[in-house]
Structure 1
Amino acid sequence: MSFQYFAGAACRALTARKDGPSLYEVCDPILRQPGSGDPHLSKFYRTALGNPALRTLLRRAGLPELNDPARLHALRQALVLARDNATPDWAAVGGPIADLVDSVALRHPAPPRRASAAAMPPAAEVERVIRACGADLLGSFAGNGFIPTYAAFNLIGDPDLGGREVLMALQGLDARGYKNSTLLFNLARVFIARSPAAAVINPPWRGIAEPMWQPVQIRHRSAYYDAFFTEALLSYLETGLASPEQTGAARGAIADMVDFCLKISREQVRGADGKSYDVVTALAPHPHPRFSRFFTQIKQDLGFGVYVPDCDTTACSFSAATQAGADDPILDQPLVDFYAGYQVRAGGNEPRVTVPINDNIDYEGGVATWIDSMAGERPYGNDLDPTLNLDVLEVSFRNLSRWQILETEGRLDFVRRIVGFQQRLVLSGAFADPRSHIYYLPELYCAYFGRCYHAFMALPPAARQAIDPDGAFELIRLRVLAYVEDELIGREMNAFDAALALIALGHLGGDAASFAPAVHCIIASFGEGGRRHPYRAYEWNKMKTPTRILVGGPEVTSAFVLMGLALARRVAVG
């Protein structure tokens, strides 16, 4: 978006006609000054919502229904209950906020159909961009000592989080600070979405993945990201396009990132079987996440002080280390035995999913996200994401022999049940619905299914038959490939969308001609990142609670583009 766009949008927000109390007229009498009860709620309000910039932007954003004294009183009483009660009834607290959230009409992106055909760019252009993206990753590692990723808040919230889902979150999350932030963020998003301020905070964009143009972006390091960047650099080496100096630098970076995943980010937990397991935490202890000193304090104030391991970070870290040829003893653990304690069985351990905001899908056979720490902490409650379960399958395929999955009835049953979960998801069409996903886009699910399918097809035929005797993977492949060819590349894309399309097409056997629109988009978008990076930052993954928090970065886009073009070069460019 141009400066003129934001200037005009800000002017309209600042001069809008005000009808009804603003967020601050509702909350200031209760939360602006610390008082009795839970001190965090007031601290969060002052830190996250009461800052001068947001106050200025929202000062004329009022809700006319709050002109009703009874409704305004009910809302304020809910905030008083959240502030003063040590163990509030979160359904009662959230009720008035949920009613307001349901008045917000947000929509997912719906790009127009692509108007014209695209020709495949020359192979030299593809190779030039691959080299530029590889250089971007290696240059970032050399300059920072790691490859950073960024988080950014979008206060307008997620279209899939209506009033019902807000109440689910308030009742299913564990940490009090996380409940507080969910409550207040969702109250604030109503005032934003129903005012001209929405155009400033949530401007339109091209394609599906959201660009990260928010002014506050939080740089950090996580094993999940290092695992992904490891795979990207391995892909770069496989292209043969890296110079001898880059090859040495890439191998050094890969070794460092695998070490960060398996050693620095290692945490011991206890499984449902009573045994101890080493898993990988979402954020390693300070100072390893590399937050700035300023944000370290802000993070505490906002209620994000406790992090626990998760099944996705663990799976991706083990997979990347396996692909890199690591021999750390942690990889010998039969991780599937641990994951089995987090696998949902209908009517059995379904209560493990305490935040079922995507309950439009059948959880049976899926593995939940968050791992209880040794101290029993589970700040986010638990949820279940389909793309995470692809990562669990993928790491299981890569370690099939090491973990003796085919030789162990319970382990083979565990894997088959995840395959069944994925088959029901895809054959129902729910995989293409953003509401089905907690942390990812449907388009990213397609790319990650391609990654999983590639690992599956690398297995011997007898192993594939034992895992998938009914041909579920082929059924899923056809459905996902059709979605990518008909919907994703059939519409206007940005560079990140196009990279996801290429990864799916390359792994799932897309027709050579179908690569051209995505490759053309990537080549045409080259340079959009300005002087420092080939591409801008886009949404890679997200949190839907406490508000829409996007994670990505320009280096992330470079990595996805690199991997997508490497596959296109092998399959379609020649």
Structure 2
Amino acid sequence: MDKLKMAGAAYRALTARKQAPSLYDLCDPVFLGRKHGDPHIAKFYRTALGNPALRPLLRKAGLPELNDPVRFRAIRDALIAARDEADPDWTAIGRPIAELIDSVQLQHPRPPASIAPTQMPRLADIDSAIRATSDHLLRSWEHNGFIPTYAAFNLIGDPDFGSPAFLAALTGLNARSYKNSTLLFNLARVFIARSPAAGLINPPWRGIAEPIWAPVQIRHRSAYYDAFYVEALLSFIETGLGTPEDVRAARRIVADMVQFCIETSRERVRSAEGESFDVITALAPPPHPRFSRFFTQIKQNLGFGVYVPDCDTTACAISAATQANSTDPILDRPLIDFYAGYQVRAGANEPLVTVPLNDNVDYEGGIATWIDSISGERPFGNDLDPTLNLDVLEVSFRNCARWAIVETPSRLDTVRRIVDFQRRLVASGAFAEPKSHVYYLPELYCAYFGRCYASFRALDEGARRAIDPDGVFEFIRERVLAYVADELVAKEMNVFDAALALIALGHLDGDLAHFTPALHCVLNHLGEGGRRGPFKAYEWNKMKTPTRILVGGPEVTSAFVLMGLALARKAILQRPRNG
């Protein structure tokens, strides 16, 4: 990111000449100084959009169409209805704002082709980078008492979140607070995207994964993140590069994180059949998420107070515990039986997906994201993400024998239907489209397919044949490797892109020559993180509602680079370039 250009964007935003009604002209009379109506929407407006940091950047950003008093009044009336009506008509409220959203044109990154070095880096340099990233994770744990992850808001929103997705979210989200925040964030993003402030809030970057540069980053802890830190530290131990002291420390940390995943974050819910099931919540109750007091209050003001379990966190936490050889009884309960109740069956339970942000995907056979709490809460409504479904398969393969999947027709059917969901996704080419993914990038889908494929290949031949008699996994492997070769490593990458490429290539037995550009990218940028770690923070996953919320951090980058380098190192040692 060019700091000079960002400074120029800030200057233009602060000194722009006002020529049309601004966000504050529209909203201040509705939400400031009012004592009636829904108290949350006014509090959200003051905290998120009317705050002293954002107001100077947007106070002169106006929309010429709002000079039309009829259109101005229609939007204001919609905001008043959202504030005052006990049971708002969210479609009617969203319609005039949806028209504004359609005036915003955003694009996903399109990295240019790159000429990468062809000489494989020295193994000693790869080993040094592995030690640097593992040391970063160990030091972070020692300093914080956990390994943190960070969330940051990008107020310009997601390129794929147009008016249809906006209206789908308004009607499909369950909690009024999330509807309120989605409404106001998406109104604000129009003013941001069409003003000089866009260059400050959404500057261009190198590669595909978005850097998390926002000055306000919310540090927290979740079982989902700990599960991947477990995998990273296990991969470090496997390399044999750690000192005895480092290995002992890594094992202690792994044990603590596994406990956090499957004990601290455990929550009891009911399956579709009414049976009690233990699953893993997205955010454990306080004080476990480790928010600061400041951000705890902001989170409440923004309406992000209710979290429920999700299928992805549950799958990854159980997988991490399995890899760490946990003996907790939670691993003995066949999780695939629970997932069957969240599997979409065309014509039967399709309304399970209430927020179809990726409606270009055929959901049949896929597992939805969010799990109803024991009290029936589902504030996010429900959606369906392809990468999540890879995690469901991965944990099922790791526990295939324990859960008697092949021997139980209903379980085998559930797994086969997820596999067929993935087959159709990849055959259509939709896996390579950002719109298909609710929480991830296509590049991350490739890396996570690699994890899934490795677990599948570890099964005995009979189990593989029973689960995949038609060779779907080999078909997907070929498509994913082609995508990594043609669309990822052949183009300009940042460190996180390169790490994802290495993970995919390593697990999928990719051509050793394709490792080379990704390895050079990682090694050439070692040290870019300055005092915070070896590398900068990049987008790992995201939320599209209520706006684009990125999750990642310097430790996350170190973890993914560590896993990618460990796999590359193994491939180099097993498959010499001239062998």
Q: TM-score range by the shorter chain?
A: over 0.9
SS at match of 1:542: strand
User: Given the alignment of the two structures, is residue 90 of structure 1 paired with residue 97 of structure 2, yes or no?
Assistant: no
CA contact (8 A) 1:506 1:568 kept: yes
Matches within 5 A, 1:491-502: 491-502=491-502
Match of 2:530, SS? coil
Match runs of 1:498-517 below 5 Å: 498-517=498-517
Q: Is the 8 A contact 2:336 2:396 kept in 1?
A: yes
- Paired with 2:34 and 2:528, the residues of 1 have a C-alpha distance of 45
Q: Deviations over 1:448-497 (max 9, x none)?
A: 00000000000001110000001100100000110000110011000000
Q: Structure 1: any 5+ residue segments left out of the alignment?
A: none
Identify the residue that residue 156 of structure 1 maps to in structure 2. 156
552-561 vs 3-12, greater mean Cα deviation = 3-12
- Provide the rounded CA distance (Å) in 1 between the counterparts of 2:332 and 2:140: 32
Which residue of the partner structure matches residue 127 of structure 1?
127
Task: Trace 1:317-356 onto structure 2 (pairs within 5 A).
Answer: 317-356=317-356
Q: What are the residue-to-residue correspondences of 1:41-56 with 2, within 5 Å? A: 41-56=41-56
Give the match for residue 369 of structure 2: 369
Aligned pair 1:248/2:254, yes or no?
A: no
Rounded to whole Å, the distance in 1 between the matches of 2:213 and 2:87 is 38
8 Å CA contact 2:353–2:368 kept in 1: the answer is yes
State how far apart, in whole Å, the 2-side matches of 1:503 and 1:125 are: 18
Q: 1:397: which partner in 2?
A: 397
Question: Which runs of structure 2 are paired with 1:517-532 in the superposition (5 Å)?
Answer: 517-532=517-532
Offset at 1:437? 0.3
Gaps of 5+ in 2: none
Kindly indicate whether residue 475 of structure 2 is the aligned counterpart of residue 475 of structure 1.
Answer: yes
Structure 1 distance, partners of 2:144, 2:201, is 30
Judge conservation of contact 2:527–2:533 (CA < 8 Å) in 1.
yes
In the alignment, the residues of structure 1 paired with residue 83 and residue 309 of structure 2 have an alpha-carbon distance, to the nearest angstrom, of 30
**CA distance in structure 2 between the aligned counterparts of 1:267 and 1:513, rounded to whole angstroms:** 46
Matched to 2:515, the amino acid is F
Tell me which residue corresponds to 1:101: 101
Q: CA deviation at 1:3?
A: 3.8
Identity, in percent, stands at 72
After TM superposition, the structure 1 stretch with the greater mean CA deviation from structure 2, 381-390 or 564-573, is: 564-573
CA contact (8 A) 2:116 2:490 kept: no
- Kept in 2: contact 1:355–1:383 (CA 8 A): yes
Q: For residue 414 of structure 1, report the CA deviation from its aligned partner.
A: 0.2
Q: TM-score, normalised by structure 1?
A: 0.99
Q: How does 1:448-487 map to 2 (within 5 A)?
A: 448-487=448-487
Structure 1 residue 219 corresponds to structure 2 residue 238: no
Match of 2:138 in 1: 138
Residue correspondences, number: 574
Q: Distance in 1 between matches of 2:314 and 2:432?
A: 26
1:543 corresponds to which letter in structure 2?
Answer: M
Deviation at 1:269, TM superposition (A): 0.1
One-letter amino acid matched to 2:558: S
Distance 2:93 2:285 in 1: 34
In structure 2, C-alpha distance between the alignment counterparts of 1:90 and 1:61, rounded to whole Å: 26
Match of 1:281 in 2: 281
Quote how far apart the aligned CAs of 1:116 are: 4.3
SS at match of 2:477: helix
Choose 272-281 or 17-26, whichever is displaced more.
17-26
- Tell me if 1:175 matches 2:175: yes
Distance 2:63 2:314 in 1: 45
Shift of 1:4: 2.4
SS of the residue 2:150 aligns to: strand
The question of whether the paired residues in 2 share the 8 Å contact of 1:369 and 1:385 is answered with: yes
- Tell me, what secondary structure is at the counterpart of 1:531? helix
- Which shifted more, 17-26 or 347-356? 17-26
**Residue 395 of structure 1, CA deviation:** 0.2
Check conservation: 2:116, 2:517, Cα contact below 8 A. no
Match of 2:543 in 1: 543
Please list, as runs of the form range in 1=range in 2, the aligned pairs for 1:172-321 lying within 5 A after superposition: 172-321=172-321
CA apart distance, 1:120: 1.6
2:452 alignment partner AA: C
Structure 2 partner of 1:409:
409
Does the 8 Å CA contact 2:149/2:221 hold for their aligned counterparts? yes
> TM (normalized to structure 2)?
0.98
Query: In structure 2, what is the equivalent of residue 76 of structure 1?
Result: 76
Question: How many angstroms apart in 2 are the aligned matches of 1:4 and 1:417?
Answer: 52
Alpha-carbon deviation of 1:5?
2.6
Deviation at 1:383, TM superposition (A): 0.1
Structure 1 residue 34: Cα displacement: 2.9
Distance in 1 (CA, whole Å) between partners of 2:384 and 2:17 is 43
- Secondary structure of the residue aligned to 2:273 is coil
- Which residue identity lines up with residue 336 of structure 1 in the other structure? I
Residue-by-residue CA offset, 1:148-198 (whole Å, 9 max, x unaligned): 000000000000000111000000000010100000000000000011100
In the alignment, is residue 560 of structure 1 matched against residue 560 of structure 2? yes
Larger deviation, residues 102-111 vs 5-14: 5-14
Which residue number in structure 2 is paired with residue 23 of structure 1? Answer: 23
Q: Confirm or deny: 8 A CA contact 1:119 1:520 kept in the other structure.
A: no
- Is the CA contact (8 Å cut-off) linking 1:152 and 1:214 kept in structure 2? yes
2:385: which partner in 1? Answer: 385
Q: Is the 8 A contact 1:344 1:364 kept in 2?
A: yes
SS in 2 for 1:540: strand
Partner SS, residue 526 of structure 1: coil
Alpha-carbon separation, structure 2, partners of 1:230 and 1:69: 57
Q: Is the 8 A contact 2:114 2:490 kept in 1?
A: yes
